[in-house]
Amino acid sequence: MKLLVLGGTAWLGHEVARQAVGRGHQVTCVTRGLSGPIPDGASHIQSDRDADHGLEAVSAVHWDAVLDVSRQPGHVKRAVRDLRSADYYVFVSSVSVYANHGPLGQDEDAPLLPPLESEVMETMETYGEAKAACEKAVLEGLGAERCMIARVGLIGGPGDIFGRTGYWPMRFANPSVEDGTVLVPNAPSLPVQVIDVRDLAAWLVQNCEGQLSGVYNATGEKHSFAEHIAAAREVAGHQGQLAVADAEWLHRHGVQEWAGPKSLPLWLSDPEWQGMNARSNMRAKGAGLVLRPLEETLRDTLEWEESTGIEKPRRAGLTKNEEAELIPELG
């Protein structure tokens, strides 16, 4: 198979390209060359998709499959225009396209946000609308029978530079205070869904081979936050106590939800957002998506965290000093 990966140096795109090469496919990655090297065995074409003819170097080639991870509607519209001769197109979308994130267990038929009218997503505030516009461009430009839309949930596993899945096993393995106590939010029933990047990439490559069409929620198995914390403690061998804090206390002390500076990753206190991590993945599993146990994902992510340095700058979580200051305040 001749596979064109629009990306291939960032996390998911790199893993897709790596696995496709490993399965014997001829892989070409089109990137700006800013996120790192492409996998061994793949070909690289440097290009800027902001340019109107940014895909000119690959548009005359016949591709068996194209995989696109962009969030910019203009990028996707131009790709659909220039790569129309490809047999098959996979667009990696997001569960952020859904209009309502409150109800649990919603499937692919749930209402969507209106597509972004602009070709450029200026801020992450319109991420869902931008991805919806990208989906619309693919489906209308190529036809539903020639493409697949994968609405991806939270991705985890080795290489998680966002820090959302690495924080908890890392912190339990490396507590901030001497007695091993770790600060956690009081949200035991909060749903959490993590799909391992390796499982997602394997499924996407498999679908490029078989040219599966349709729209799918590519999400992990749903666990409660308590189950996720227990799995993280187990892989880290944590024997300390949990300092459990209510949402009001955490907010009062400046602790953020989900990700970003001074945050507790994966935590959401607003019920109107808790369905975001409780999407039905039955259609994707019926189409061959195989998911490894959560413990394996967290264990491998912990190994990656430690191999790359636990003191590296983080995009999610509390620093050691921040947590060490908060725990005594909780009493």
Predicted confidence (pLDDT) per residue in 121-156, tens digit: 999 999 999 999 999 999 999 999 999 999 999 999
**What pLDDT, on the 0 to 100 scale, is given for residue 126?**
96
**What pLDDT, on the 0 to 100 scale, is given for residue 32?**
84
**What pLDDT, on the 0 to 100 scale, is given for residue 253?**
98
- Buried b / exposed e over 16-33, threshold 16 CB at 10 Å, is bbbbbbeeebebbbbbee
Provide the residue range defining the domain that includes 263.
157-192+222-274+292-330
Identify whether residues 245 and 326 lie together within a single domain. Answer: yes
Strand partners, 68: 6, 91
**What pLDDT, on the 0 to 100 scale, is given for residue 33?**
76
Q: What share of the chain is helix, strand, coil (3-state, %, to 5)?
A: 40, 20, 40
**Does any domain span residue 32?**
yes
Identify whether residues 107 and 231 lie together within a single domain. Answer: no
Check: CB of residue 4 under 8 Å from CB of residue 65: yes
**What pLDDT, on the 0 to 100 scale, is given for residue 140?**
97
**Does any domain span residue 254?**
yes
Q: How confident is the model at residue 9 (pLDDT cuts 50, 70, 90)?
A: confident
DSSP 3-state of 27: strand
Strand partners, 192: 223
pLDDT for 275 beyond 80? yes
Identify whether residues 185 and 317 lie together within a single domain. Answer: yes
pLDDT for 34 beyond 80? no
pLDDT for 331 beyond 90? no
CATH number at residue 94: 3.40.50.720
**What pLDDT, on the 0 to 100 scale, is given for residue 8?**
74
pLDDT for 163 beyond 90? yes
Identify whether residues 17 and 124 lie together within a single domain. Answer: yes
**What pLDDT, on the 0 to 100 scale, is given for residue 41?**
97
**Does any domain span residue 112?**
yes
**What pLDDT, on the 0 to 100 scale, is given for residue 319?**
96
Q: Comparing 20-24, 46-50, 152-156, 247-251, which segment has the lowest mean pLDDT?
A: 46-50
Number of domains in the chain: 2
Question: Which backbone phi and psi does 257 adopt, to 5 degrees?
Answer: -95, 155
pLDDT for 17 beyond 90? yes
pLDDT for 295 beyond 90? yes
**What pLDDT, on the 0 to 100 scale, is given for residue 166?**
97
Structure tokens at 71: 């969030």
| Overall size of the chain counted in residues | 331
